[in-house]
């Protein structure tokens, strides 16, 4: 009873005075349905099962905390890559800083324009995958995003796209509270890469819904922003068809609180779904949470979850990952690994790996470890003349390598690896 009242009070305070964005009939219906889901579920508290390791109070509060701006001398990430740039500044589309949204094999629109049309392909995706992802675990913050998002992009890939699309989220207002929602539809046989970079806001809520049709391929590489005081909750919902590929990788630096949820549903035979992440955290104010749910509902499919966290000076890392194999999903190959490298005795890694299997011809495994730098390897490098801090950085990069290897594009992986080396050097 006390928990129910707490959730009701939290939800009422957050929704007080909220009015839904206006759009075409289908968009209004999707938003109203999402708001009804929020009201029925209630916003999360730390007493919810999937939030017991992460306190959502700052994400659900009516008034968001501020976040000081972070300045650095590094150039833009992926600047050497030929890409289509789409820029948002504190959640507002910046047309002057963005490239032309027309590209071969791509249809790109702002969400605000798509939801104003009476007939649009996004109707079959927007809020639909998020609603499917509410079972068996409720994700009220994702529903809140669907209800309240005023902008984002909708992208349809109709062929093999040569240029990645780069969503760039800039943060310039210390009090910005941003909600963005992106929708991607990869048609049969199409192939595209989506990049996401930048801190975005003081408090950032972002959802991504991806539908990959039969034979399609979607590659997603994300680097979450550098602001030390930012707070972010992100959701990725994907529906993956037959003989298709979905691969997502996230690298996270800094931040007070980051919660990344990924919900993948494999519905077609012979599909591949990989989700991976790496984070480096320094200080007691750093809290990073990866929560993943992969459902196998087709034959002869493969999924991989690879997550690595480097933590020190009291930083906290969380991993909650589940593989659900439904009856009939024979010949499933499910792999899950979550590991942390603790560089001191004050940091902590909290892991909750799960397998739920209803088929008998499967190969599923999970593992989770926490440990310190290998003293033998450190001694070996020191004995070869490598300074101690440089040796520790080399071993740290080696630890993160398995996650980075999930990125198929070598140029993107090398850029992220260089940023990791820079971060480790600055924090030595």
d(CA 297, CA 300) in angstroms, rounded, equals: 10
Amino acid 426: pLDDT: 83
96: left (phi over 0), alpha (psi -120 to 50) or beta: alpha
User: CB–CB of 419/77 below 8 Å?
Assistant: yes
Question: Which string of DSSP letters, residue by residue, matches 115-128?
Answer: TTSSS-GGGGTTTH
The set of long-range contacts for 365-368, using a CB threshold of 8 Å and a minimum separation of 24, is: 365/334, 365/335, 365/336, 366/321, 366/323, 366/335, 366/336, 366/337, 367/336, 367/337, 367/338, 367/339, 368/319, 368/337, 368/338, 368/339
d(CA 256, CA 287) in angstroms, rounded, equals: 6
The β-bridge partners of 228 are none
Q: What are phi and psi of 414, to 5 degrees?
A: -65, -40
Where exactly are the structural domains of the chain?
22-374
d(CA 43, CA 322) in angstroms, rounded, equals: 22
Amino acid 17: pLDDT: 81
Show Cβ contacts of residue 204 under 8 Å, excluding neighbours closer than 6 positions: 169, 178, 180, 230, 231, 232, 233, 234
The β-bridge partners of 302 are 272, 333
Render each residue's pLDDT in the chain as its tens digit; 428 residues: 677 888 998 999 999 988 999 999 999 999 999 999 999 999 999 999 999 999 999 999 999 899 999 887 777 899 999 999 999 999 999 999 999 998 889 999 999 999 999 999 999 999 999 999 999 999 999 999 999 998 999 999 999 999 999 999 999 999 999 999 999 999 999 999 999 999 999 999 999 999 999 999 999 999 997 789 999 999 999 999 999 999 999 999 889 999 999 999 999 999 999 999 999 999 999 999 999 999 999 999 999 999 999 999 999 999 999 999 999 999 999 999 999 999 999 999 999 999 999 999 999 999 999 999 999 999 999 999 999 999 999 999 999 999 999 999 999 999 999 999 988 888 77
Selection from 212, 90, 102 nearest residue 151 by Cα: 90
End-to-end CA distance of the chain: 49
Amino acid 1: pLDDT: 60
Amino acid 65: pLDDT: 93
Mode of pairing for the β-strands spanning 106-110 and 153-157: antiparallel
């Amino acid at each position: 009873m006390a928990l129910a009242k707490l959730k009701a009070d939290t939800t009422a305070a957050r929704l007080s005075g909220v009015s839904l964005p206006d759009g075409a009939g289908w968009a209004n219906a999707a938003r109203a349905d999402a708001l009804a889901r929020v009201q029925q579920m209630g916003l999360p508290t730390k007493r919810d099962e999937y939030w017991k390791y992460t306190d959502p109070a700052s994400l659900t509060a009516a008034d968001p905390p501020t976040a000081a701006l972070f300045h650095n001398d590094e150039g833009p990430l992926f600047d050497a890559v030929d890409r289509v740039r789409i820029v948002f500044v504190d959640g507002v589309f910046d047309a002057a800083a963005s490239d032309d949204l027309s590209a071969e094999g791509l249809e790109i629109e702002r969400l605000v324009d798509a939801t104003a049309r009476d007939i649009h392909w996004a109707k079959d995706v927007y809020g639909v995958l998020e609603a499917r992802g509410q079972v068996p675990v409720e994700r009220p913050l994702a529903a809140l995003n669907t209800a309240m998002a005023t902008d984002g992009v909708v992208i349809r890939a109709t062929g093999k796209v040569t240029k990645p699309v780069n969503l760039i989220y800039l943060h310039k207002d210390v009090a910005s509270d941003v909600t963005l929602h992106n929708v991607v539809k990869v048609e049969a046989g199409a192939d595209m890469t989506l990049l996401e970079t930048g801190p975005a806001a003081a408090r950032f809520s972002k959802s991504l819904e991806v539908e990959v049709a039969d034979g399609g391929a979607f590659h997603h590489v994300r680097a979450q922003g550098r602001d030390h005081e930012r707070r972010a909750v992100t959701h990725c919902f994907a529906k993956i068809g037959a003989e298709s590929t979905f691969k997502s990788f996230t690298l996270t630096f800094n931040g007070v609180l980051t919660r990344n949820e990924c919900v993948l549903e494999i519905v077609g035979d012979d599909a591949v779904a990989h989700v991976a992440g790496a984070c480096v955290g320094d200080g007691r104010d750093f809290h990073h949470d990866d929560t993943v749910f992969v459902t196998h509902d087709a034959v002869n499919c493969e999924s991989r979850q690879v997550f690595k966290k480097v933590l020190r000076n009291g930083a906290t890392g969380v991993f909650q990952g589940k593989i659900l194999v439904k009856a009939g999903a024979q010949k499933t190959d499910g792999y899950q690994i979550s590991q942390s490298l603790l560089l001191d005795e004050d940091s902590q890694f909290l892991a909750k790996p799960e397998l739920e299997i209803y088929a008998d011809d499967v190969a599923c495994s999970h593992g989770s470890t926490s440990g310190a730098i290998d003293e033998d390897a450190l001694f070996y490098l020191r004995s070869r003349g490598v300074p101690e801090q440089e040796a520790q950085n080399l071993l740290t990069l080696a630890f993160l390598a398995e996650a980075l290897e999930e990125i198929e594009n070598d140029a993107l992986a090398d850029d992220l690896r260089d940023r990791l080396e820079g971060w480790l050097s600055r924090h030595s």
